[in-house]
Amino acid sequence: MDLGIAGKRALVCASSKGLGRGCAEALAAEGVHLVLNARGAEALETTAAHIRATYGVEVVAVAADITTEDGRAKVLEAAGDVDILVNNAGGPPPGMWSDWEREDFIKALDANMLTPIALIKALVPGMIDRGWGRVVNITSGSVKSPIPVLGLSNSARAGLTGYVAGTSRQVAGKGVIMNNLLPGIHDTDRATSLDQGVAKADGSTVAEARKKREATIPAGRYGTAQEFGATCAFLCSQYAGFIVGQNLLLDGGAVNATL
């Protein structure tokens, strides 16, 4: 299926690895030119080179912390006008509800709520002027079903979800389509580090911790960045124009709910 977006330009934040990279590769496979971002320059350049060589699209790589004002300014300057924005950043650390202080919340809000909002505010006006745009925010299954140790994520992402719910409906009529993708457990470095946390807490091995977490997923396995990226590319496609402000859960059935 041709998604009808060849030749468009996308900014994919936090995309040298994991789910962001999955989204970048799926867009590149559709002929979308990319601006990639991550803090670590080495992995970023490796990913950029791989995507250029594999898909033949233009790739600009910007090493910067997207959660800082300076980092965003650097990325936005290199990106210029883009048709597609995929918002992503690292997730907050796990912990206990009683431990987090104001500063911890501010950090989580900055990374997982205020950063995507700042990028939406910077890039959506141009999309509106050009009459076409797509925004996909990578949030978390924790928006639908809270994860006890990830209270900072539960809180910050819920805030972004509320903002997107209202904003998506104000820009849809101008050709800009905005939705959220909610990952359940996917096979990335983030999942491995959470497995390590579970193993430490349980006194088990990382392999045992993974098996235990896989058993909570009806699909019986972790998701892949490739599956996730393909869904992102569809939400960025010409065919997604009537999908507005939705929260699409990719979790192998882990959230047990009818709707």
The residues of the shown chain that bind ligand NAP, judged by CB under 6 A, are 14-20, 37-40, 43, 65-67, 88-91, 138, 140-141, 183, 185-186, 188-191
Task: Tell me how far apart the alpha carbons of residues 238 and 136 are, in angstroms, rounded to a whole number.
Answer: 14
Sheet containing strand 176-183, edge to edge, reads 59-63, 33-38, 9-12, 84-87, 133-138, 176-183, 247-250
Token representation of residue 105: 């919340």
Query: Closer to ligand NAP at the Cβ: 17 or 33?
Result: 17
CB of 9 to ligand NAP, least distance (A): 19
CB of 221 to ligand NAP, least distance (A): 12
CB of 73 to ligand NAP, least distance (A): 13
Q: Which residues of 33-59 are buried (b: 16+ CB within 10 A; e: fewer)?
A: bbbbbbbeeeebbebbeebeeebebeb
Whether the Cβ atoms of residue 158 and residue 112 lie closer than 8 Å to each other: no
Q: Please, what is the end-to-end C-alpha distance for the chain in angstroms?
A: 28
CB of 74 to ligand NAP, least distance (A): 11
Token representation of residue 130: 């050009």
Query: Closer to ligand NAP at the Cβ: 20 or 151?
Result: 20
Query: Closer to ligand NAP at the Cβ: 141 or 245?
Result: 141
In the DSSP assignment, the letter for residue 186 is B
CB of 26 to ligand NAP, least distance (A): 14
Query: Closer to ligand NAP at the Cβ: 82 or 171?
Result: 82
Return the amino acid letter for 8: K
Query: Closer to ligand NAP at the Cβ: 141 or 151?
Result: 141
CB of 191 to ligand NAP, least distance (A): 4
Burial class (CB in 10 A: 0-12, 13-18, 19+), 84: buried
Q: Which residues contact 165 (CB under 8 A, 6 or more apart)?
A: 245
Query: Closer to ligand NAP at the Cβ: 128 or 208?
Result: 208
